[in-house]
Amino acid sequence: MLTVLLTGLLTTMALIVAIGPQAAWLLRQGLRRDRVALAATCCLIGDVLLIIAGTAGVGALLDYAPWLLDAIRWIGVAYLTWFAYRSFRSAFKVKEVNLEKEAETAETLHVAMTSSIPVVPKEGEGPTTTTTRQKVQVTSVSKISTVAATGLTLSILNPHAWVDSLVVLGTMANSFGPDKWWFAGGAVLASVIWLTLLSGGSAALAKLLNKPRTWQIIDVVVGITMLVVAGFLAISGF
């Protein structure tokens, strides 16, 4: 059983260790520290659902309904293209937003706070207090519903994931007969390891890369990745 589990783990790692749409998006979330745990969890849920479906034999349906995979393919192309557009739009809006914030820095990022430490007044003057300024860090995070929907969509509506999970992993899992769920367990473990490395590693680098220019580059790279995958799907299928 342990051998079957390890086979599932290693096989799945060989299939998923690549920068595809899901990985690119999760890296972006980690570098932005934008609901990273939720993003990774939703990606994992999507992976687990596909692995379970493949192990249960759902992949066999594709032999009888090839149009289903083709439909998922074009849905994936449309979604990835839209996501690429959103990433490029975000990248080119960064500069405008930063200029607006710079103009409001004195009013929005520095809050005058009056302390209770008295200062000895000069003769003829009333009591005074010291005034300090505290810098307030403004951060924005995505809505929970947006992160959850994006994570699940990029995982479940990814045509490559359908082929990998429903066809390749599903076929291999069922070749082990009664031990197929041990293979599935290894596949899930591989997904946990990969998603943890992606989200945790990128979040750890967030402080070093916390610059507007970096966010622009990240968004552009994510957009290009989405367009490349969408292009391959549209032109050559799988």
For residue 24, the one-letter residue type is A
How far apart, in whole angstroms, are the C-alpha atoms of residue 53 and residue 184?
10
How many other CB atoms are there within 10 angstroms of residue 115's CB atom? 10
- Bridge partners (DSSP) listed for residue 135: 110
Question: What integer pLDDT is reported at residue 147 of this predicted model?
Answer: 94
User: Do 57 and 169 meet the contact criterion of CB atoms below 8 Å apart?
Assistant: no
Beta bridge partners of 110: 135
Radius of gyration of the chain (CA): 25
What is the structure's pLDDT at 195? Answer: 94
Would you place residue 93 in the very low, low, confident or very high pLDDT band (cuts 50, 70, 90)? confident
pLDDT value at 144 more than 80? yes
- 3-state secondary structure at position 134: strand
The arithmetic mean of pLDDT across residues 157-161, rounded, is 81
pLDDT of residue 137: 40
